[in-house]
């Protein structure tokens, strides 16, 4: 999804079946597909090995089935973060002042796709696996912060949506003139607020260590997560910024059938 002005002519010629503003649609759909495969696979892994080997962290099988997965996740997260963020930064557009209106419109579409992929990851982390955390800890007494659901939810899902949110922020900052000139407040809120949910894991685990090992979702030790997710409402501001600029850009291009 990264394109510089040097590549504009190439990118506008490539798609024969798709209109020029949807050139990144196949990559967007592949992104959805890839994330779906990853999340469903992790859920199936939990179904296969959580009850069998995920109830007692002192057993050797726990180390084999769950801590090994945890280490793999850390490596994948580090590689993906450095790879995608590094790519977006090194391929940044250094000629934003010469950007054509059509290319800028296309990039707004691509930014919207990045944010959409980000919200898809927020769905899995904030909705499905979050409630599943309650379900699991209602039947399994935790004896470690690395439980069979935490290893997926806290140490993979949370960092992954942070990475994807960071991608959206970096894409806008490096490829769209308004976002390069100033720092968008709503985009920054929508990315860095939910990032604080990852940080709140520390408070959550501290609270479970001190107060109770059972699960009680409405308890104050979880409210750090709640405040973090309010910042996702910043997406409304991103939408307003995008629509405003698109109206201006559409006025600059010719009508076509």
Partner 1 sequence: MSAQIPISTFKPYRGEKARLVRAYDYLILVLALFLFIGSFHLHFALTVGDWDFWVDWKDRQWWPLVTPLIGITFPAAVQAVLWDKFRLPMGATLCVAALLLGTWVARVFAYHYWNFFPINMVLPATMVPGALVLDTLLMLTNSLTITSIFGGAAFALLFYPTNWPIFGMFHQPVEVANSQLTIADLFGFQYIRTGMPEYLRIIERGTLRTYGQYATPLSAFCSALLCSLMYPLWWHIGKWFASTRYLAKI
Q: Which of 4, 112, 177, 203 binds partner 1 (CB under 8 A)?
A: 112
Q: Which of 160, 164, 198, 235 binds partner 1 (CB under 8 A)?
A: 235
Which residues, numbered 36-95, are part of the site for partner 1 (CB under 8 A)? Answer: 43, 46-47, 50
- In a 10 Å sphere around its CB, with 0-12 CB exposed, 13-18 middle and 19+ buried, how is residue 92 labelled? middle
Structure tokens at 147: 């439980």
Among 113, 160, 191, 198, binds partner 1 (CB under 8 A): 113
**CA separation for the pair 59, 107 (Å, rounded):** 51
> How many chain residues interact with partner 1 (CB under 8 A)?
79
Closest CA to 179 of 64, 73, 96, 120: 96
Q: Mask 183-222, x = binds partner 1 (CB under 8 A)?
A: xxxx-xx----x--x---------------xxxxxx---x
- Using CA atoms, how far apart are residues 113 and 164, in angstroms rounded to an integer? 11
Give Cα 81 distance to the centre of its chain: 11
Structure tokens at 78: 């580090």
Least distance between partner 1 and beta carbon 182 (Å): 3
The correct pick among 3, 147, 174, 241 for binding partner 1 (CB under 8 A) is 241
Q: Does 147 bind partner 1 (CB under 8 A)?
A: no
Residue 120 burial (CB < 10 Å; 0-12/13-18/19+)?
A: middle
150 near partner 1, judged by CB under 8 A = no
Contacting residue, 85, 123, 195, 203, with partner 1 by CB under 8 A: 123
CB of 75 to partner 1, least distance (A): 26
**Whole-number Å distance between alpha carbons of 179 and 111:** 11
Stretch that binds partner 1, among 4-12, 61-69, 93-101, 135-143 (CB under 8 A): 135-143
């Amino acid at each position: 999804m990264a394109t510089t002005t040097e590549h504009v002519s190439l990118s506008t010629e490539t798609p024969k079946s798709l209109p020029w503003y949807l050139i990144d649609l196949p990559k967007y759909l592949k992104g959805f597909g890839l994330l779906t495969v990853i999340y469903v696979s992790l859920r199936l892994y939990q179904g296969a090995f959580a009850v069998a080997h995920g109830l007692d962290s002192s057993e050797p099988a726990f180390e084999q089935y769950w801590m090994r997965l945890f280490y793999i996740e850390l490596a994948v997260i580090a590689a993906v973060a450095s790879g995608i963020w590094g790519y977006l930064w090194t391929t940044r557009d250094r000629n934003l002042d010469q950007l054509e209106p059509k290319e800028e419109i296309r990039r707004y579409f691509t930014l919207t796709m990045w944010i959409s992929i980000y919200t898809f990851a927020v769905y899995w982390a904030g909705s499905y696996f979050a409630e599943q955390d309650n379900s699991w800890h209602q039947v399994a007494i935790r004896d470690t912060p690395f439980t069979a659901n935490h290893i997926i939810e806290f140490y993979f899902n949370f960092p992954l949506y942070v990475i994807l949110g960071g991608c959206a922020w970096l894409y806008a900052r490096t490829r769209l003139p308004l976002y390069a000139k100033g720092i968008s407040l709503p985009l920054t809120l929508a990315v860095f607020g939910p990032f604080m949910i990852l940080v709140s894991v520390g408070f959550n685990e501290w609270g479970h260590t001190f107060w109770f090992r059972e699960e009680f979702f409405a308890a104050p030790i979880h409210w750090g997560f709640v405040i973090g997710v309010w910042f996702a409402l910043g997406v409304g501001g991103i939408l307003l910024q995008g629509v405003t600029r698109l109206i201006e850009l559409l006025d600059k291009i010719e009508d076509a059938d």
